Amino acid sequence: MTESVLRFESVRKGFGEHLVLHDVELAVPAHSVTALIGASGSGKSTLMRCANLLEEIDDGAIFLDGEEITDPRADQDTIRRRIGVVFQAYNLFPHMTVLDNITLAPRRVHGVGRAEAEAGARELLDRLGLADKAGEYPDRLSGGQQQRVAIVRALATGPRLLLLDEITAALDPELVGEVLAVVRGLKEQGMTMVLCTHEMGFAREVADQVCFLDAGVVLEQGPPEQVFGDPQQERTRQFLSRVVAAGRLPR
């Protein structure tokens, strides 16, 4: 297999006494989708934030395309440019129109001209069925529309890797579908993605690799058929049965 796009090497991270990530090993091959599952507080979001350098790790290393990004000498800004992030709470900029939200990074970080950036943004918006929303302010859109705009914003810089952090957790069931459809489309185009989610059915369908985290430890890792169909660990079985009981994973 070729060099992974993203690779965690015995990553350790704690907040005070509390250890959140415990020697995490993870490799994300190019054009693959990795789903992180696990209970709240298992370290999924922290893992994501570490990958985007929003948190500093205590030990170990994280590599992006073979280059160590946790090296304190590395330029954080140039690394972040290669990673797109979509947040649970969208985090759109409320004082800017949809179009300005999307073109901010291309224009200010990548030095693309206004006309070119806007043309690119409109094309992406059009693909996601948001063409008529370009001039709106984020707070006037529905949750699903806002999250799709956030995805467009993350894509607009042409990232090497997309991190999706519980992107449907704040949406009602009707709107979850439209956002997940976008992720499916991105997978077809060969985008490398890491997503953490509570939508187990979706994780099973879209992921090439599923990673079960429990108390900061990667307890189980493998193709979705294996993790969901034949879990090796007792904790994984417990977690999945609870998820089924909650109606999050169709049998």
* Binding residues vs other proteins (CB under 8 A): 52, 54, 77-78, 80-81, 83-85, 87, 89, 91-95, 104-105, 108-110, 137, 139-140, 153-154, 157
Q: Which is nearer to other proteins, 7 or 80 (CB)?
A: 80
Dist CA 51 CA 142 (whole Å): 29
Q: CB-wise, 76 or 232, nearer to other proteins?
A: 76
d(CA 125, CA 244): 35
Residue with tokens 């250890």: 19
Q: Please, what is the minimum distance in Å from the beta carbon of residue 100 to other proteins? A: 9
Q: To the nearest whole angstrom, how small is the minimum distance from the Cβ of residue 20 to other proteins?
A: 17
Q: Least separation, in Å, of the C-beta of 108 and other proteins?
A: 6
Least Å distance, CB 89 to other proteins, is: 6
Identify residue 247 by its one-letter amino acid code.
G
Are 136 and 148 within 8 A, CB to CB? no
Strands 6-15 and 67-68, bridge-based pairing? unpaired
- Quickly list H helices, 128-172: 143-155
Instruction: Select 36 or 92, whichever has its Cβ closest to other proteins.
Output: 92
* CA-based torsion, 203, 207, 210, 215: positive or negative: negative
Q: Measured from the CB of residue 171, what is the shortest distance to other proteins in angstroms?
A: 17
Helices 98-108 + 143-155 axis angle, to 10? 20
Residue number, 113 or 229, with CB nearest to other proteins: 113
| DSSP bridge pairs for 161 | 83
Measured from the CB atom, the residue of 138 and 224 that comes closer to other proteins is 138
